[in-house]
Structure 1
Amino acid sequence: MPTTGLLFVLLSLLWGGSFVAIDIGLRDLPPVLFAAMRYDVAGLLVLGYAASRTDRWRPRSRWEWTLVAFLGFFMFGAYNALIYIGIDHVSGAVASIVISFGPVLTAGFATTLGIEEPPSRIGALGFLAALVGVVLVADPDPNALLDTNTIGVGIVLLGSVSFAFGAVASRPIDVDLPLSTVQAWAMLVGAAFLHLASPLRGEALSAASVTPSTVAALVYLGVVSGAFAYALYFRLLDRLGPTEINLVGYAEPVVANGLSWLVLGQAIALSTLGGFVAIFTGFFLIKRRALLETVRPADRR
């Protein structure tokens, strides 16, 4: 459907642009505090969306609160703390490519926890290809393995591990709660965790600078790529399903690197580009059957 395709492109643009906004905001705001402020805004707006569009705007049962707390910690709290700290060491464009390793990690955790069947030999080859891609993006210097770039990529990778684990380990927690409601409360729980973690890192609000670019970055991240983009995500998830929506994660780095070049003048290294191709190839090899099954019905029409 043309509308679905346009929404997919729009979501990719909005989420890809968030990496440029993070780069800009980190010039004036401490990373964990910045992430907390983003999800203060996004969480409240998505909660308003849930309250106006669904019949359940808050969790009630113990299992519903358990799910919200679990997702809030792993997929919004720990994930964003590590991503924003990592982008303090590497560019948002590079971080976006490392994050594209996430769907591969998700498949790995699903296999490890017994939720999905073990991968075939081709699937295992795909995992290795994606792992090689991460190494290419990190581009470690043999004489200085703990250089800034390698550390940044490693921290972002840990963030992706947190997100993937949270996404997979939460699957058995089955609740009858609208997705937007779960997302809103998970954002707010994650924001609360980030606010607690920020001073533990020695961050202080007094160290932040309020500039027009900082405010613009926060508004973009909280309102545009936060609340509005997640509303698009919910709609596309219903139309496309989880396998196809994962492809947004591979359109984001393209957008992020293009905008970083246009707006910030950041060039992309050939090794980074090669890493992205390897990660996407790995994802395709792992999920090739599911991806081909989503294409075949369209071919028959």
Structure 2
Amino acid sequence: MPRSLDLFLAALAPTIWGSTYIITTELLPDGYPMTAAMLRALPAGLLLLVLTRTLPHGKWLVRSFVLGALNFSIFWWLLFVAAYQLPGGVAATVGAIQPLIVLYLSKLLLDQSVRPVAVIAGIGGILGVSLLVLTPRAALDGVGILAALGGAVSMAFGTVLTRKWQPPVPALVFTSWQLTAGGLLLLPVVIFSEPALPPLDMGAVIGFTYLGLVGGALTYFFWFRGIARLGPATVAPLGLLSPVAATLLGLIILGETLSPFQAGGMVLVLISVWLGQHAQRNPPMAAPQASPTPISEKF
């Protein structure tokens, strides 16, 4: 498959994730971040697990729970906390540091060099996102900022370890393992720390369904597939498309306005994403292929 198509599919994931903020604030009941994260992960993971009919075995069971925690349990919980505490795409400003974290984690864990152009692209992305969403009307909350930063660190570790720990199974199977593990880790936390959800209206049902199937299962399949084929340092800058999408949705759905500074920030983000792709000149290592001897159990 052409590299351009791999990039396009990987870029769809953060573009769709940009809708998380507006879905959370406009459709979901307020004050249930862990429940929202669990309902986004577990039903979608179980559905994919039934479709793929492949269970992790041995070390892949442990790794699935580690990655499920980093990519889903911790990240989504903090993402929902940030979305409840911060307006619009402000959380994405802090999250924009993630590509830089991925660069240095890739050097540490994957022995990949850090290219100056990639660092420049990462800094440009942070500046662009700041111009895009940090307006005088944007109120900052300490808890929300810490949650957004913690989410960026968690996702960065999950992105790099997803490339380091590539199982000999298709990406859809790997996605099902992580989603299910992430949801299971959140389930006891939800039971003991949050009250039961109130009766859900149709908007909340649609919101949870969308976040689980589209914002979870489909997009993370594209994301993990891109990491395997292109490498984390190439895929991570695509995450900067999320605040761009969030801002555009705010313009279209909420009637928000775009200042010249915000428009300039959007352009700077897109340039940074482009630079981030071209900074990785050496082709990434080929993703491990499925083993003829399955390491997983069928059911």
Give deviations 1:13-66, integer Å, cap 9, x for gaps.
Answer: 543333322222444451111111111222122223423xxxxx11112x2112
- Residue type of the partner of 1:255? A
CA 1:119/1:241 → structure 2, altered by over 3 Å: closer, same or farther? closer
Give SS of 1:257's match. Answer: helix
Q: Please state if 1:115 is matched with 2:149.
A: no
Give deviations 1:46-95, integer Å, cap 9, x for gaps.
Answer: 223423xxxxx11112x211220110111111111110000011235333
- Residue type of the partner of 2:195? A
- Residue type of the partner of 1:67? R
1:284 and 1:130 map into 2 onto residues whose CA distance is 10
Q: How many residues align?
A: 280
Q: Please state if 1:212 is matched with 2:202.
A: yes
1:59 paired residue among 56, 60, 68: 56
1:169 and 1:182 map into 2 onto residues whose CA distance is 13
Residues 140 and 150 in structure 1, CA contact (< 8 A), matched pair in contact too? no
1:188 paired residue among 180, 203, 208: 180
Quote the RMSD (CA, aligned, Å): 3.8
1:118 and 1:83 map into 2 onto residues whose CA distance is 27
2:69 paired residue among 58, 68, 73: 73
Residues 138 and 153 in structure 1, CA contact (< 8 A), matched pair in contact too? no
Greater shift after overlay, 149-158 or 239-248? 239-248
Residues 45 and 227 in structure 1, CA contact (< 8 A), matched pair in contact too? no
Give SS of 1:88's match. Answer: helix
Residues 40 and 188 in structure 1, CA contact (< 8 A), matched pair in contact too? yes
| Residue 49 of structure 2: aligned partner | 47
Residues 17 and 256 in structure 1, CA contact (< 8 A), matched pair in contact too? yes
Residues 93 and 260 in structure 1, CA contact (< 8 A), matched pair in contact too? no
2:133 and 2:243 map into 1 onto residues whose CA distance is 15
Residues 97 and 276 in structure 1, CA contact (< 8 A), matched pair in contact too? no
1:270 and 1:68 map into 2 onto residues whose CA distance is 44
1:281 and 1:166 map into 2 onto residues whose CA distance is 25
Give deviations 1:156-185, integer Å, cap 9, x for gaps.
Answer: 122011110122245443532332222112
Q: Please state if 1:203 is matched with 2:200.
A: no
Give deviations 1:257-291, integer Å, cap 9, x for gaps.
Answer: 21222223344566666655556555655553326
2:259 and 2:213 map into 1 onto residues whose CA distance is 31
Residues 22 and 92 in structure 1, CA contact (< 8 A), matched pair in contact too? no
2:278 and 2:8 map into 1 onto residues whose CA distance is 24
CA 1:28/1:245 → structure 2, altered by over 3 Å: closer, same or farther? same
- Residue type of the partner of 2:106? A
Q: Please state if 1:257 is matched with 2:257.
A: no
Residues 12 and 252 in structure 1, CA contact (< 8 A), matched pair in contact too? yes
Q: Between the two proteins, what is the percent identity of the paired residues?
A: 24
Give SS of 1:290's match. Answer: coil
C-alpha displacement at 1:136, in angstroms? Answer: 5.4
Greater shift after overlay, 280-289 or 41-50? 280-289
CA 1:283/1:151 → structure 2, altered by over 3 Å: closer, same or farther? farther
Greater shift after overlay, 157-166 or 86-95? 86-95
Residues 160 and 232 in structure 2, CA contact (< 8 A), matched pair in contact too? no
CA 1:10/1:186 → structure 2, altered by over 3 Å: closer, same or farther? closer
1:186 and 1:22 map into 2 onto residues whose CA distance is 22
CA 1:174/1:255 → structure 2, altered by over 3 Å: closer, same or farther? closer
| Residue 17 of structure 2: aligned partner | 15
Residues 27 and 204 in structure 2, CA contact (< 8 A), matched pair in contact too? yes
What are the equivalent positions in structure 2 for 1:143-292 lying under 5 Å apart?
A: 148-149=140-141, 151-198=143-190, 202-206=193-197, 208-231=198-221, 245-246=235-236, 248-267=238-257, 288-290=278-280
Segments of structure 2 that go 5 or more residues without pairing to the other structure are 285-299
Give deviations 1:181-229, integer Å, cap 9, x for gaps.
Answer: 22112111111222233356x42115x3411211110111112332344
Segments of structure 1 that go 5 or more residues without pairing to the other structure are 52-56, 142-146, 295-301
1:19 and 1:110 map into 2 onto residues whose CA distance is 28
- Residue type of the partner of 2:157? F
